Amino acid sequence: MDSNLKNNPQHSTVNQSVNDEIDLHELFLVMWHNKRIITAITTLFAVVAVVYALNQADIYKSEALLAPAEQEKAGGLGALAGQFGGLASLAGVNLGAGGSVDKNQLALEVLNSRKFASDFMQKHAVLPDLMAAKTWQRETNTIIYDDEIYLTSENKWVREVEPPFKPEPSMQEAYKKFKEIVTTNVDKESGMVTLSVEHVSPYVAQQWVDWLIADINQTMKELDVIEANKSTEFLTQQIEQTKIADIRVVLYSLIEEQTKTIMFANVRSEYAFKTIDPALVAEEKFKPKRALIAVLGTLLGGILSVMLVLVRNFIKKAD
């Protein structure tokens, strides 16, 4: 009879269930007897999380919605070069490849490049706001700088760093920080671009967005004008070297296209991107989420304290 009970699967399941209940009950007793340790550790983590959250400076975010300006996707010699390149080659004139370049993607790559960021920081003298800004005073609309990094009274960098770094941040070092606070997001369906800047001052964030939009439009305009001028110069030389009437007509058409590009660049301020929704001075902070930090810190303390108590109990039983 006893042998049958031992070999009965149902009986084994009942025993396992009883053992599980005993184990859970034992765990509960262990945590109850060590409730002071659990409470103390959890409280400690909660206090640290609250203090950390309160010491974090408010960060404001300003963003603008941009639409790519309507432009021809072919740059330089343009679509006409691709159309008449074969004809021109018969006369020994090389007009180059007729492949197209996505000007919108090119503008975004330029915007995110190290050279553009360096030129932007130097042009607008924003290095202290980028690398040393600590907090912002709403009442006076002034930025408080970290005096261990930058002294505003002397306009001097005083941070202590080890070589190869210097007290004044280099453009390479500043670019890393620049990429943390300046972001661009492209909507794959609509093609709209969102350009955003995060800063302790909402006024600085809004100003930077406006400056970035103006600078990228100006940069792309200058690049196209330079390219169009070089193309015009090249085409003029080719006209002087050929006597075939049909080829000369093609070259004059290409020069006309480059002239249109230059005229278009000179009369249009929003050359690469059109501003659909301009940047505003944020009224409310974007981060930190202090309540969330406090809750997560408390939960982390509770989990770690329970684990510590259970591990201690396991080690005692093993001994």
Residue-level pLDDT at 131: 96
Higher pLDDT residue, 16 or 252? 252
Q: Please say whether the beta carbons of 220 and 272 come within 8 A.
A: yes
Total of domains in the chain = 2
- pLDDT given at position 5: 47
Q: What is the predicted pLDDT for the residue at 18?
A: 45
62: pLDDT strictly greater than 60: yes
Considering the domain architecture, whether residues 69 and 41 belong to the same structural domain is answered as no
pLDDT tens digits for range 286-303: 999 999 999 999 999 999
**pLDDT at 76 exceeding the cut of 50:** no
Residues 105 and 32 in one domain: no
CA 73, CA 176: separation in Å to the nearest integer? 31
pLDDT at 205 over 80: yes
In this predicted structure, the answer to whether residue 311 has a pLDDT above a threshold of 80 is yes
83-138 pLDDT, tens digit per residue, is 555 545 544 445 554 444 578 889 999 999 999 999 999 999 999 999 999 999 99
Q: Give me the domain span that covers residue 205.
A: 58-287
Residue 151 has a pLDDT of: 95
Q: Which residue has the higher pLDDT, 83 or 256?
A: 256
Q: Do 225 and 310 lie in a common domain?
A: no
Tell whether 274 and 298 lie within a shared domain: no
Same domain? For 157 and 173 the reply is yes
Structure pTM?
Answer: 0.77
What mean pLDDT do residues 52-65 have? 94
188 and 76 co-located in one domain: yes
Provide the mean pLDDT of the chain.
Answer: 84
234 with 208, same domain?
A: yes
Is residue 118 located within the same domain as residue 49? no
